[in-house]
Amino acid sequence: MKAEWKEYDLDAMAIEDISGEVQAYLVELGEISRNVQANRLAVEELLLRIRDAYDKPVKLRVLIGRSFGRHVIQLSYTGSAYDPTDSEQENNTILETIGLSPMWGYRKNTNTVSMTISGRAKRGRIFWILLAILLAGIIGYVGTFLPDGFRQTADESILSPLITCFLGLLSTFAGFMIALTITSGVLGVGDSSSLSRIGKNVILRFFLISLLTATVALVITYPLFHVVMGDGGGESFQLKSILAMFFDIIPNNPVDPFMSGNSLQIIVIGIFVGVGLLALGERTKVIRDFVKEGASLTQWLTSTVCSLVPLFVFVALLHQIWGGNAGVLLSLWRPVLIILGASVLWITVLLLYTAFRVKCSPLLILKKILPAFIIGITTGSSMTAFTTSIDICRDKMGIDESYVRFTYPMGNVMYMQGTVMYLSLISVYFAETYDLKVGLMWFVMTALTSTLLAIAVPPIPGAGLTLFTILFSQLGIPKDALVMAVAMDIVFDFVDTGFNIFALHLEVIGGAHAMKQIDHEILRKPVG
């Protein structure tokens, strides 16, 4: 498609037309569905901001297509300087977590917003991971007919060093990415007074419920796992250990957490820096901009490293097969069933509890949430279901639009019930698999780390491997578990998304009910 400028009077109809053209162009380029929907949503948000920023109608020029060898989207409008990509704006959560990383410029009374598209059609990462598993299985089987010395030499000289190199490369950027992402997220709140208000009513609630989810998951599934209990010394020793763990969350200096990969301390640093920058206000604008760009850079670097996940799976799986550990992979059906069963049970409990609070039929609530749940579980993308979810909350649940527009985007990033449960239980499974000696403190660490990481790691391609790398390092789980975790993630990437969406709808309903931001007559109205 050749790039041509088009002019619009920026009204609701124009926004719909421009967004539709963006979507059609992305489909033409072969972008996967989740990217198409996410990027369309980002463009819509930018257009709405531009329209609302001026008192008089905006004349907008739009360029969509190939320009100077790149696939671009450009928006141009005259008037006073206005940056729709500014991270200080209200409800900036959407643009911080999805979209095309738009860049704004102003010259000679003209504002320009530019976005670049990769323009290269790519097969889904699931295809390449499955292909890597297939090739590793074939080559691993053929290798059994080769001399043992050859396999051992290849493993020690090539496979193991490659695994170590990849994990080291990922760890190099992961710590900085988490710290900068957390700080950027805190800055996205707006100001210190907003942070205090939101922290009391929404963020703290998200965190506590997620921590409760992890705790309940560990308690109800504990009898199903055969873990080796250690760390003896009695209740007094366990209490001291737990207190020591919480005190250890506070780092001694700002360098050690990044050198040792202590994710909890890194998260604490990110929160403190973000709160401090909010408290200092406009004096820290330069630092804020640096944090925002640093977060984007580290996310891109981590995402780039994670693009090598299929290669890592191939090498790591071949290492497992030639090491005689292939049988462990065949036993993954058990944790899969346990995690699925626990997720269904917990979602059912949340549904019944929410229905009881709002005095509405749980089946009716289920029917209303089901369309968004199906989109999430079939695409593996919460952003693909974003527009549908907003419409459900507003039109079918009767929740006030201002509450939905604020709470749902934030929850879409922070409220990961399925992910928290998945991370917690997969950690216990690998503790069983590798005969780790665990105690009460280890379980507390598992629940807390799973909760914080589910909130801290941004939705970038390959984020699952990043999560597992950090989590397993924190809990002392061997790196050999990563290839099995990635294999399980193929299934749970979709399942997690569906459960995350379902649980978030229930939380938005409950929160709106508590704050009297819901029309119960609309909520109880049957589905037409």
Please check whether residue 115 is in contact with residue 102, taking contact to mean a CB–CB distance below 8 angstroms: yes
**Share above pLDDT 70 across residues of the chain, in percent, rounded to a whole number:** 81
Is 231 strand, coil or helix?
Answer: coil
Please check whether residue 62 is in contact with residue 75, taking contact to mean a CB–CB distance below 8 angstroms: yes
Rounded to an integer, the average pLDDT of 429-446 is 87
CA 469 to chain centre: 15
Report the alpha-carbon distance of residue 335 to residue 350 in Å, rounded.
22
pLDDT of residue 363: 93
Closest listed residue to residue 119, CA positions, set 75, 65, 38:
65
Task: Tell whether the model's pLDDT for residue 524 goes beyond 80.
Answer: yes
pLDDT tens-place string over residues 238-260:
555 556 656 667 777 777 787 77
Report the alpha-carbon distance of residue 263 to residue 374 in Å, rounded.
33
Highest mean pLDDT among 20-29, 93-102, 183-192: 20-29
Strand order in the sheet with 110-117: 4-9, 59-67, 70-78, 110-117, 103-107
* Residue 84 dihedral angles phi and psi, to the nearest 5°: -75, -10
pLDDT tens-place string over residues 452-489:
888 776 655 556 777 888 888 888 888 888 878 887 87
Report the alpha-carbon distance of residue 357 to residue 267 in Å, rounded.
34
Which burial class, exposed, middle or buried, applies to 56 when counting CB atoms under 10 A from its CB (0-12, 13-18, 19+)?
Answer: exposed
Q: What angle do CA 469, 174, 92 make, to 5 degrees?
A: 120
- Give me the residues paired with residue 106 across strands: 111
| Element containing residue 438 per DSSP (H, E) | strand 437-438
Q: Which residue has the higher pLDDT, 171 or 36?
A: 171
Please check whether residue 296 is in contact with residue 188, taking contact to mean a CB–CB distance below 8 angstroms: no
Please check whether residue 414 is in contact with residue 455, taking contact to mean a CB–CB distance below 8 angstroms: yes
Q: Which residue has the higher pLDDT, 525 or 174?
A: 525
Q: Positive or negative, the Cα torsion across 265, 499, 514, 90?
A: positive
Task: Tell whether the model's pLDDT for residue 137 goes beyond 50.
Answer: yes
Q: Which residue has the higher pLDDT, 493 or 110?
A: 110
Say which residues have a Cβ less than 8 Å from residue 430's Cβ, sequence separation at least 6: 436, 472, 477, 478, 481, 484, 485
Please check whether residue 424 is in contact with residue 450, taking contact to mean a CB–CB distance below 8 angstroms: yes
Residue 265: count other Cβ atoms within 10 Å of its Cβ. Answer: 22
Please check whether residue 114 is in contact with residue 102, taking contact to mean a CB–CB distance below 8 angstroms: yes
Rounded to the nearest 10°, the torsion over CA 205, 264, 301, 415 is -20
Strand spans (E) along 149-188: none
In the numeric block, the tokens 């209490």 are attached to 239
Report the alpha-carbon distance of residue 256 to residue 279 in Å, rounded.
26
pLDDT of residue 527: 78
Highest mean pLDDT among 121-125, 317-321, 447-451: 447-451
Report the alpha-carbon distance of residue 411 to residue 195 in Å, rounded.
15
Strand spans (E) along 79-180: 103-107, 110-117
Q: What angle do CA 75, 69, 83 make, to 5 degrees?
A: 20
Query: pLDDT averaged over the chain?
Result: 79
Task: Tell whether the model's pLDDT for residue 121 goes beyond 50.
Answer: no
- What letter represents residue 391's amino acid? D
In the numeric block, the tokens 């397993």 are attached to 472
Task: Tell whether the model's pLDDT for residue 513 goes beyond 60.
Answer: yes
| Element containing residue 61 per DSSP (H, E) | strand 59-67
Please check whether residue 75 is in contact with residue 29, taking contact to mean a CB–CB distance below 8 angstroms: no
Residue 353: count other Cβ atoms within 10 Å of its Cβ. Answer: 13
Say which residues have a Cβ less than 8 Å from residue 111's Cβ, sequence separation at least 6: 50, 76, 77, 78, 79, 81, 82, 83, 104, 105
Angle between helical axes of 285-306 and 463-475 (0-180°, round to 10): 100
pLDDT tens-place string over residues 392-412:
988 899 998 878 877 777 777
pLDDT of residue 365: 93
Report the alpha-carbon distance of residue 466 to residue 306 in Å, rounded.
8
Closest listed residue to residue 385, CA positions, set 465, 504, 466, 526:
504
pLDDT of residue 354: 93
Q: Residue 361, CB half-sphere, CA atoms under 13 Å: how many?
A: 11
pLDDT of residue 249: 72
- Give me the residues paired with residue 70 across strands: 67
pLDDT of residue 99: 43
Residue 261 region, left (φ>0) first, then alpha (ψ -120 to 50), else beta? left
| pTM for this predicted structure | 0.68
pLDDT of residue 235: 47
Rounded to an integer, the average pLDDT of 510-516 is 86
pLDDT of residue 383: 63
Which burial class, exposed, middle or buried, applies to 462 when counting CB atoms under 10 A from its CB (0-12, 13-18, 19+)?
Answer: buried
Minimum mean pLDDT range among 50-54, 165-169, 470-474 = 165-169
Report the alpha-carbon distance of residue 369 to residue 377 in Å, rounded.
12
Task: Tell whether the model's pLDDT for residue 450 goes beyond 70.
Answer: yes
pLDDT of residue 185: 67
Please check whether residue 411 is in contact with residue 382, taking contact to mean a CB–CB distance below 8 angstroms: no
- What letter represents residue 356's amino acid? F
DSSP 63-96: EEEEETTEEEEEEEEESS---TT-TTSTTTHHHH
Task: Tell whether the model's pLDDT for residue 197 goes beyond 60.
Answer: no
